[in-house]
Amino acid sequence: MTVFVRAETPDDIEAIYRLNTAAFDGRTEEADLVDALRSSGDLLLSLVAVRDAEPVGHIAFSRLIVDAADGPVGGVALAPVSVHPGCQSEGVGSVLIRAGLEKLAARSEQVVLVVGNPTYYSRFGFSTAAGKRYPSSHSGPHFMALVIGDPAGAPIGPVRYPEAFELVN
Ligand SMILES: CC(C)(COP(=O)(O)OP(=O)(O)OC[C@H]1O[C@@H](n2cnc3c(N)ncnc32)[C@H](O)[C@@H]1OP(=O)(O)O)[C@@H](O)C(=O)NCCC(=O)NCCS
């Protein structure tokens, strides 16, 4: 299936809300999280995957803080990623994750954190072992990190998520 990935526009906002709600079986926490991140200015990158002019997938990246030894440094949270139930397991999620990570690398972002299924996210380089270097309110067996670029230069330390994440705690 061919999809085109692009940054969200204001015209996508309602479709993104519906898409996130549908992907999470009618639950609105993730859709509300995206809206809250957008409102608070913490949404770093929001991409939609479009097929036949319709958004069929969405991914959000937001700014979090790593309290590194030398002081606070910006990191990135990946959440949520959603693919319309009728289009899942066709590669859309993978395309969105890879496109997002490429854009973050181009912006010299260094560390991305995600909570999810380790079998799925390990495909993109995330690991639970790396996640252990970033203690946070989301730490646990599904908490993973990916260091982009030189691991020696990446900040390490406890992580503070944007306040909007209290919606999904
Ligand atoms: C998770 C999700 C984004 C993946 O996107 P996708 O387009 O369906 O997945 P892809 O086509 O890129 O990858 C498909 C593979 O991922 C696996 N997969 C899909 N969802 C998975 C999940 N929640 N956990 C583990 N593996 C999953 C499939 O089994 C498939 O494996 P295969 O390649 O070995 O056959 C999508 O299924 C979705 O929106 N799910 C509901 C919302 C959700 O759980 N989001 C993630 C949490 S933030």
How far is ligand 1, taken at its centre, from the CA of residue 50, in Å? Answer: 17
Write the burial class of residue 67 (CB in 10 Å: 0-12 exposed, 13-18 middle, 19+ buried). middle
- What average pLDDT does this structure show over 101-111? 97
pLDDT over 70 at 1, yes or no: no
Nearest atom of ligand 1 to the alpha carbon of 97: 12
Q: What share of the chain is helix, strand, coil (3-state, %, to 5)?
A: 40, 30, 30
- Contact between residue 42 and residue 162 where contact means Cβ atoms under 8 Å apart: yes
Report how far residue 17's alpha carbon sits from residue 150's, in angstroms, rounded to the nearest whole number.
36
Residue 81 beta carbon below 6 angstroms from any ligand 1 atom? yes
Overall pTM > 0.85: yes
Write out pLDDT tens, residues 129-147.
999 999 999 999 999 999 9
Write out pLDDT tens, residues 108-130.
999 999 999 999 999 999 999 99
Among protein residues, the one whose CA lies closest to atom 19 of ligand 1: 89
Q: What residue ranges define each of the domains in the chain, with the CATH number in brackets? A: 4-162 (3.40.630.30)
Identify which has the larger pLDDT, 149 or 140.
140
The helix/strand/coil state of 89 is: coil
The helix/strand/coil state of 72 is: strand
Residue 79 beta carbon below 6 angstroms from any ligand 1 atom? yes
Nearest atom of ligand 1 to the alpha carbon of 79: 48
Identify which has the larger pLDDT, 167 or 125.
125
pLDDT at 149: 82
How far is ligand 1, taken at its centre, from the CA of residue 119, in Å? Answer: 10
Nearest atom of ligand 1 to the alpha carbon of 30: 48
- Contact between residue 128 and residue 143 where contact means Cβ atoms under 8 Å apart: yes
